[in-house]
Amino acid sequence: MQATSLDDAAAPAAAPVPARNPWLRLLLLPLVILAGMGLSVEAGLLGPLGVQVGHLWATLSIFGVGAALLFLLLLLSGRQQGPAFSELPRWQLIGGFLGPIYVVVLTLATPHIGIAMTMIAILSGQVGKSVLIDHFGWFGSARKRVNGERWLALALIVAALVLIARG
């Protein structure tokens, strides 16, 4: 249940720490690629599991095991910085409600269109959403003029989806 956050790729990173050592970068890149491969393995495990035990149960296995692991990690990593959850604005807490939607859809889709195509469709949604939000100024974001390159990107995305639908 993770996003390759394309939006973050758009914004300049808050505090980039450029690696002085190019070797470190070279070592890290395969690690990041492996992590990305892990996301597809995760999706690959989910599909068949959902077919056998039900999509919601498969989803629960992800969130249940993930929550347990993170709880242990948090417990072992000592005192945490920052305010308590109760002090945060409520809307910041709704991420947890959106996560299950994504995972259930993964379990539903991968047996039918395959993992690679599911990932492409997910990425399409991410790209399309950011272009449309900027263009129409949805969700209270400032209305920005969407330039030609981004419309082209959206058109390519639609083309990719048509290709997937055709099989």
Q: By CB under 8 A, tell whether 41 contacts another protein.
A: yes
Residue in 127, 125, 131 with CA at minimum distance from that of residue 148: 131
Among 10, 90, 140, 142, binds another protein (CB under 8 A): 10
Site track 17-36 with another protein (rule: CB under 8 A), x = hit = xxx----xx--xx-xxxxxx
Q: Region of 95 please: left (phi>0), alpha (psi -120 to 50) or beta.
A: alpha
Q: Say which residue the tokens 């629960």 belong to.
A: 60
Q: Closest distance between another protein and the C-beta of residue 108, in Å? A: 7
Q: How far is CA 45 from CA 15, 48, 83, 167, in A?
A: 35, 6, 36, 22
Residue in 114, 117, 157, 160 with CA at minimum distance from that of residue 6? 157
The set of residues, in sequence order, having a beta carbon less than 8 Å from that of 117 and lying 6+ positions away, is: 164
What tokens appear for 35 in the block? 């992590």
Residues 98 to 157: which contact another protein by CB under 8 A? 98-103, 105-106, 108-130, 147, 149-150, 152-154, 156-157
Nearest distance from C-beta of residue 162 to another protein, angstroms: 8
Among 23, 86, 91, 140, binds another protein (CB under 8 A): 91
- Least separation in angstroms between residue 143's CB and another protein is 14
